[in-house]
Every structure is written in C-alpha cells, then in structure tokens.
Amino acid sequence: MNTHASAWRIQHQAENQRFLVHVDGHDCVLDYQRNGAVITITHTGVADAVVGQGIAAALTRAALDWARRDQLKVVPQCSYAAVFIQRHPEYADLRD
C-alpha cells in the first residue's frame, strides 16, 4: 500500500451509499446499496491517474470494517471487492 494511505481521509457518505476519497484532485469511490442488514458493493472506481496506490483496497477495507462494526453482511457484486475478500480471509465471515 502507498505510504500516503494513512493520510487519506476516506469519507462515508451514508446518504449517498458511498465511500469517497480525494487523491491528487481525483474522486475515488466505492458505491454500495443497503437493504436492511445487507450491503451490496456495486462499484469501486479509481481514476486512471492515481491507480496503483492502494486506493481501491483502502476504500474496500473501510467499507468492510464499517459493515463489521454495524453487524452487516456483504454481497461483493463488484469484481474488485469479490477478489479483495477472497484474498483477505479475515473478511470472509461478512459474506452473505
């Protein structure tokens, strides 16, 4: 992960069902849909100009950590989120 990751201020915009971070002037997002106690991660988007810095991983980790705190289950519809959970078995218990 990029050394700047700890300086990123990931915002949870619950009203928009989105996690957002601004990196070098670019908006990077993780979108989800919530239905009761289940969230479906629908999209992870990182601008080409800032790809490769661990931004998608940081957004996904923030969403999964929030889901765990709020006792939510997760459906990783987004291919990035699905692979992330597969590679990080500590989040496997969150899958719905």
CATH architecture assigned to 7-88: 3-Layer(aba) Sandwich (3.40)
On average, the pLDDT of the chain sits at 94
The encoded tokens of residue 63 equal 């969403």
pLDDT, one tens digit per residue, over 34-79 is 999 999 999 999 999 999 999 999 999 999 999 999 999 999 999 9
d(CA 44, CA 59): 8
Predicted confidence at residue 1, as pLDDT, reads 44
**pLDDT above 90: percentage of residues in the chain:** 92
**Which residues have a Cβ under 8 Å from the Cβ of 43 and sit 6 or more positions away?**
29, 30, 31, 78
Report pTM. Answer: 0.92
Give the CA count within 13 Å in the CB-facing half-sphere of 21: 26
Residue with tokens 């619950």: 14
d(CA 32, CA 74): 10
Helix %, strand %, coil % of the chain (to 5) = 40, 35, 25
Query: Given a cut of 80, is residue 23 above it in pLDDT?
Result: yes
What is the total residue count of the chain?
Answer: 96
> For the chain, which residues make up each domain, given as ranges?
7-88
Residue 54's SS3 state is coil
Query: Given a cut of 60, is residue 8 above it in pLDDT?
Result: yes
